[in-house]
């Protein structure tokens, strides 16, 4: 019993930390399939997505992590509303970027889209279907995440990449690794794709781990993507290269980017500027610059910096 309890308890702790940081949600969700905060409605059907149909819509979403009456809520404290009446649309194949200070609610938007929590008011639609009414598994199958910091399995490089499409061949893994520009690095190691990585194996740099996540996402080939841009400074050449790869992965995908860099947001279909759980400005880069508000201030503050972090402005 104790032997069973300790690993399960340990996994529970890791799961909570990972869920919180949006680090490798997919992997941990699969491992912790049984620890669910939300349940499918009785008779829930899988999400039915038709080609070119993967628009995402937030409609009047209001959310608090501990709503009154929930298990985690303190009896004497009113629930703190984290998102207030948020509405926006990511048309199929387009990119919406979210910027704003730390704690403004950017990652919460991503957690709700991945359905880690259900919204208390309003709804989130994918392809016109309310994600609360369909199976969680089908929502997650439709979404690929490139997190800030990819946690790798203590297994081979091949296994870690193939995780995007279990059972695929070495050739397919190599093709994805080439597209994510990690193939040359892998091939330069003595054991190549059989190299063990993770805590007990080869340690990869932040950029290399992100490339593994990109290769995984390429294999999964989901219609919807969430990118949580790394805030940690990669060197700028590496940064630009990864940015370019992310952009090519996002081509024709419906993409939500938690953005820290101007290069990402400039081409976005819409930029949402968040502050304390509200969208305080929205529009294209050009429109927001013309408006001369908070976004324009961020831009002015940051344009001199080589690595631009929009959340830190
Ligand atoms: P950052 O740029 O620092 O990642 P963010 O804009 O992504 O910040 P969120 O992580 O969405 O911000 O957090 C929004 C607010 O929700 C913060 O005030 C945070 O403290 C709170 N919050 C986040 N997770 C939880 C949780 N599990 N329970 C209670 N409150 C939470």
Tell me the CA end-to-end span of the chain in Å, nearest whole number: 50
Question: Could you give the 3-state DSSP secondary structure of residue 149?
Answer: coil
pLDDT at position 122 = 98
Length of the chain: 313
* Edge-to-edge strand ranges of the sheet holding 83-90: 83-90, 56-63, 121-126, 129-130
According to DSSP, the residues that pair with 281 across neighbouring strands are 273
CA 90 to centroid of ligand 1, rounded, Å: 22
- To which residue do tokens 């620890």 refer? 35
Does residue 182 register a pLDDT over 80? yes
Helical ranges in 206-250 per DSSP H: 206-220, 236-250
The DSSP H or E segment spanning 285 is helix 285-291
What confidence tens digit (pLDDT) does each residue in 302-311 have? 776 644 566 6
Distance, in Å, from the CA atom of 57 to the CA atom of 255, rounded to the nearest integer, reads 12
Distance, in Å, from the CA atom of 267 to the CA atom of 262, rounded to the nearest integer, reads 9
99, 262 contact by CB (below 8 A): no
Distance, in Å, from the CA atom of 133 to the CA atom of 128, rounded to the nearest integer, reads 11
Residues 6+ apart with CB under 8 A from 29: 140
pLDDT at position 77 = 65
Counting from 1 in the atom list of ligand 1, the atom nearest the Cα of 277 is 14
Does residue 32 register a pLDDT over 60? no
122, 86 contact by CB (below 8 A): yes
CA angle, 298 then 304 then 310, to 5°: 30
CA 1 to centroid of ligand 1, rounded, Å: 35
Averaged pLDDT for residues 67-74: 60
Does residue 313 register a pLDDT over 70? no
Average pLDDT of the residues of the chain: 83
Nearest CA to ligand 1 atom 29: 65
According to DSSP, the residues that pair with 274 across neighbouring strands are 279
Counting from 1 in the atom list of ligand 1, the atom nearest the Cα of 104 is 6
Mutational test site, ligand 1, from 84, 97, 104, 231, max ligand atoms within 8 Å of CB = 104
What confidence tens digit (pLDDT) does each residue in 138-168 have? 999 999 988 877 878 889 999 999 987 888 9
Whether this model's pTM surpasses 0.80: yes
Does residue 260 register a pLDDT over 50? yes
pLDDT at position 13 = 47
What confidence tens digit (pLDDT) does each residue in 192-204 have? 999 999 777 888 8
ipTM over 0.90: yes
- To which residue do tokens 């297994």 refer? 155
Distance, in Å, from the CA atom of 305 to the CA atom of 202, rounded to the nearest integer, reads 33
Does residue 234 register a pLDDT over 70? no
Does residue 183 register a pLDDT over 90? yes
CA 224 to centroid of ligand 1, rounded, Å: 22
Question: Rg (Cα) of the chain, in Å, rounded?
Answer: 20
pLDDT at position 230 = 67
Averaged pLDDT for residues 26-40: 58
CA 107 to centroid of ligand 1, rounded, Å: 7
């Amino acid at each position: 019993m104790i032997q069973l309890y300790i690993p399960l308890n340990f996994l529970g702790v890791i799961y909570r930390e990972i869920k919180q940081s949006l680090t490798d949600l997919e992997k941990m969700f699969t491992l912790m399939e049984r620890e669910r905060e939300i349940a499918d409605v009785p008779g829930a059907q899988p999400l039915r997505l038709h080609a070119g149909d993967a628009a995402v819509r937030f409609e009047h979403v209001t959310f608090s992590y501990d709503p009154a009456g929930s298990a985690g809520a303190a009896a004497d404290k009113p629930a703190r509303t984290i998102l207030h009446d948020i509405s926006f649309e990511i048309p199929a194949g387009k990119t919406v970027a979210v910027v704003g200070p730390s704690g403004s609610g950017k990652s919460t938007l991503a957690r709700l889209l991945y359905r880690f929590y259900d919204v208390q008011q309003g709804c989130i639609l994918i392809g016109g279907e309310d994600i609360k009414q369909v199976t969680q598994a089908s929502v997650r199958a439709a979404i690929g995440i490139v997190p800030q910091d990819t946690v790798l399995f203590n297994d081979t490089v091949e296994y870690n990449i193939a995780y995007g499409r279990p059972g695929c061949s070495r050739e397919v893994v190599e093709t994805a690794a080439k597209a994510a520009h990690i193939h040359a690095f892998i091939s330069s190691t003595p054991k190549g794709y059989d190299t063990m990585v993770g805590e007990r194996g080869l340690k990869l740099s932040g950029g290399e781990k992100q490339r593994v996540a990109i290769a995984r996402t390429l294999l999964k080939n989901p219609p919807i993507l969430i990118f949580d841009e790394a805030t940690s400074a990669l060197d700028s050449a590496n940064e630009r290269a990864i940015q370019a790869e992310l952009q090519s992965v996002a081509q024709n995908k419906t993409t939500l980017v938690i953005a820290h860099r101007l290069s990402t947001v400039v081409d976005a279909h819409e930029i949402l500027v968040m502050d304390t759980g509200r969208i305080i400005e929205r529009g294209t880069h050009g429109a927001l610059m013309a408006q001369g508000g908070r976004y324009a201030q961020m831009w002015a503050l940051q344009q001199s910096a080589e690595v631009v972090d929009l959340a830190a402005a």
